[in-house]
Amino acid sequence: MTLISRRPFRSSALASALLALLALGPGGPLTAPPAMAQTRVPASQAEISLGFAPLVKEATPAVVNIYAKRVVATRQSPFANDPIFSEFFKNFGQVRPQVQNSLGSGVILSDDGYVVSNYHVVGQADEIRVVLNDRREFNAKVLLADENSDLAILRLEGVKDLPHLSLRDSDSVEVGELVLAIGNPFGVGQTVSSGIVSGLARSGTATGSERGYFIQTDAPINPGNSGGALIDVNGDLIGVNTSILSRSGGSNGIGFAIPAALVRQFLDQSRAGNDHFERPWAGMSGHPVDLDMAEASGLDRPEGMVIDALHAESPFANNGFKPGDIILAVDGKPISSPAEMVYRMTVTGLGGQAVVTRLSGGTRKDISVPMIVAPEDPARDPLKTGEETAVPGMTLININPAVINEFQLQLSARGVMIEEPGRIGQRAGLRAGDTILSINGTDIDTPQTADAALRNPGRTLELSLLRDGKTATMRFRL
C-alpha cells in the first residue's frame, strides 16, 4: 500500500514558531528540538507570535460542514413514553414519516470532490448537503460507508479544483506530536483546537465496533466535529475525528481519530467502484497473550495474539499456521489484540501480501500471507419459504466463509442459516443469524432440505437451532 508522502514545512515562520513553543523556556533552551522539526530557532518575537495561523489558513478550506437528512417511518403511540405499556403497544398507532437531521464535518481528500466523514453522520442519509468554507454549497452522495469503521466516502456533484488535504502515513505518527483538530460544528463556523497525540493503537474505545483502531489526542473535539480533520504541523491529514470520551459530555476529555491509513483504503475502494467496504479475511479467532503465556512461550513480556481457532479455508491455515501459534507482528508492526490484527490486515489492502511474524514451538518465522476476501464457497443459494410452509416468508442460505464473516458466526459453523426470519418467524422468536440444525428430527444441510421439512411438519414443529454458540430447541403447536 502506498500513501502520499509527507510534505515539507510550507512556512519557515510557522516552523520556527512551533519550535519556539517546544524548545524555549523563560531561562533559555529546555530540550533539543524533535527530529521532525529540524528548523532554525525563531529570529524575532513576530515569528513566535504567528502561532498556528498560517497552518490554519491553509488547512481549513478543506474542512466542510455536512447537513444530512433521513426520512424514517415512526408510529405515533400514546404509550410511547410509558415504561410498562410501551413494549406491549409498540406496533400500535399510525405510521408517519419523520425527518431526522444530523450535522457534522467532513474533509475533502481530492480536487475532484471526494470527501470523508463519519458513518454516524451520513451513513443512512437520504439527502446530503455539503457547505464549503467559502460558503459554496453542493449536493453529495455516499459512495461507500461502513458502520464498523464509522467511515463514509462522499462525492460532491459538479465540482473541480477543490482545496484538499494530503493523507500522511499514520504509521509514522508518534506520541507527543503537535496536532490540530478542525471541524465545523452545528454550522456556526469552523473551530480549531490544538493538542498532542497522546496515544496510539487505541482499540474498541470509541464509536464503531471491535474493528475499531484509533489515534488518541488531548486536542478538544467540540460537539459536531465528527468527521473533521486531525492534522499535523505540516497540514497533512493523520486522522478523522470520530468521538470523545468525556464525563461532562462536553469537549473536555479524550479524543479519538480514525487513522489516515484506513481512510486511504476507503478512498481507494470507492474509486474502484465498491459499494461496500471489503476487509481481508483472517478466518481465525484469538486473544491477547497474557503474562503466564508469555513466560511459557519464552517471551520476555506479554506481546502478540495467540490463535484459538482457524477455519479450514483460512489463508493462515493454508500457510502453516495452527491453533496455539502466536502472531507477533504484521508487516513489521507489533500487534497485541484481534482488533490490531484486523486493522493491520485492512491497511495492507486486498490483493497484497502481508508479512506475518509467527512464534511457534519457540521459533520465530516471517511468513507471507495473501490478503483475500472471505470465499463464497459453497454459494449462498438463498431460498424463501412459500406460504404453504409452516414458517412462510423466511429466507434461508448456505453457510460459507463469507456468511460466517458477515454474521460473526463461529468458525466451525456449517449448514443452513436464517438470513431473514420473515414476519411469522420473527413473531415466533427466530432471528437472523440462527443456524438450523434440524427440523422435527431431520438434519438440515441445505435450504432445500429445510424447505421440504417445513412443508409437512405434522401437528407440531420442532426446530433445533444454534444461536450465539448455544444450542436451543423451539417447539410450536400448528
Q: DSSP letter string over 114-162?
A: EEEE-HHHHTT-SEEEEE-TTS-EEEEEEEEEETTTTEEEEEESS--S-
Is 276 catalytic? The answer is no
Residue from 150, 218, 325, 451 carrying the catalytic annotation: 150
Residue from 117, 149, 226, 270 carrying the catalytic annotation: 226
CB 217 within 8 A of CB 197: yes
- Cα angle 201, 206, 208 (rounded to 5 degrees) comes to 100
Is 325 catalytic? The answer is no
**Residue 172 backbone phi and psi in degrees, to 5:** -90, -5
Is 331 catalytic? The answer is no
Pairing of strands 237-245, 435-439: unpaired
Question: 397 in helix, strand or coil?
Answer: strand
Rounded Cα gap, residues 304 and 336, in angstroms: 4
Q: Which three cell numbers stand for residue 385?
A: 419459504
- What's the first-to-final CA gap in the chain, in angstroms? 58
Q: Which three cell numbers stand for residue 319?
A: 500457510
Residue from 120, 164, 243, 270 carrying the catalytic annotation: 120
- b/e code 107-134 from CB counts within 10 Å (16+ = b): bbbbeebbbbbbbbbbbbbeebebbbbe
Active site residues: 120, 150, 226
